[in-house]
Amino acid sequence: MSYLVCPVRFRRICHIVLYLFFFSHIVCAQKVVYKNRFVVDQKGGGDYLTVQDAINAVRDLSQQRVTIFIKNGVYKEKIIVPQQKSNITLLGENKDSTIISNDDYSGKERINGKDAMGVTSFSTYTSYTVLVQGKDFIAKDLTIENTAGRVGQAVALHIDADRAQIVNCKLLGNQDTVYAAEGRQYYQNCTIEGTTDFIFGKAIAVFSNCTIVSKQNSYITAASTDPDQKYGL
């Protein structure tokens, strides 16, 4: 009789052990806490040296807002906020002293040869300093600039995402400074400067209490609003 009972008890014990093992893993998984704030300092006093590295560290498809605080400095980067990186805030220490800068322009040859499509030079749409593809993006208290000069199309900020907010920022360039490509966009208390068509695109965009600085006697905007779209720039 004992010979028959022992295997039954053994199986029960195994079932209990397995249950506790899987349950403990579920509990541990529920306790995972993702950081919602990173500090970027090119002098080494933060979590990352570059803005792009901090963006890359944000959890994909985050449901909570993640703030990337950028300390003062000139960050010479070409930044992408990809589609899977949502709910990101770039917060500068000071809008005049926290600067993201690049100098690409349409027609400029790529240093590293060809891009993924085999193209050897930049176009208007790839000349950006900052490209935003992730929804619910916020930029606040910083400068985004394209310093290419008067060499043609050279985008500073390219937004191709919904519900983007740009607050108390300086967006500086010459031709095609701000490319409001897609989605709904809100600009508040910003300074936007350029020469020709320096605010363009087919997004629905509101500019509230913004200072628009035309550096030459030319067109300020070049909207390409879809005929079926009720609102534009």
pLDDT digits (tens, 9 = 90+) for 169-212: 999 999 999 999 999 999 999 999 999 999 999 999 999 999 99
Rounded Cα distance between 232 and 227, Å, is: 10
pLDDT at 3 over 50: no
Active-site residue, 197 included: yes
pLDDT at 30 over 60: no
Mean pLDDT score across all residues of the chain: 88
Rounded Cα distance between 114 and 124, Å, is: 16
Domain spanning 34-223: which CATH class is it, in words? mainly beta
pLDDT > 90 fraction of the chain, expressed in percent and rounded: 68
Q: Determine how many CB atoms are found less than 10 A away from the CB of residue 211.
A: 11
Give the model's pLDDT for residue 20: 53
* Four-residue CA torsion sign, 189, 80, 162, 90: negative
DSSP string across 109-129: BPTTS--TTS--B--GGG--S
Amino acid at 178: V
Distances (CA, A) of 25 to 30, 31, 35, 198: 9, 10, 21, 54
Give the neighbor-by-neighbor strand order of the sheet with 211-214: 73-76, 98-102, 143-146, 170-172, 191-194, 211-214
Residue 136, sorted as left (phi over 0), alpha (psi -120 to 50) or beta, turns out to be left
Judge whether 190 and 168 are in contact, CB under 8 Å. Answer: yes
Segments making up each domain of the chain, as ranges: 1-32, 34-223
* pTM exceeding the 0.85 threshold for the entire prediction: no
Distances (CA, A) of 47 to 6, 55, 85, 123, 232: 57, 11, 18, 33, 39
Which two structure tokens, joined as six digits, stand for 219?
A: 């067109």
pLDDT at 164 over 60: yes
Least confident of 19-28, 52-61, 96-105: 19-28
Rounded Cα distance between 19 and 232, Å, is: 57
Choice among 104, 160, 176, 197 that is catalytic: 197
Average pLDDT over residues 102-106: 95
Angle at 186 between CA 180 and CA 189, to 5 degrees: 110
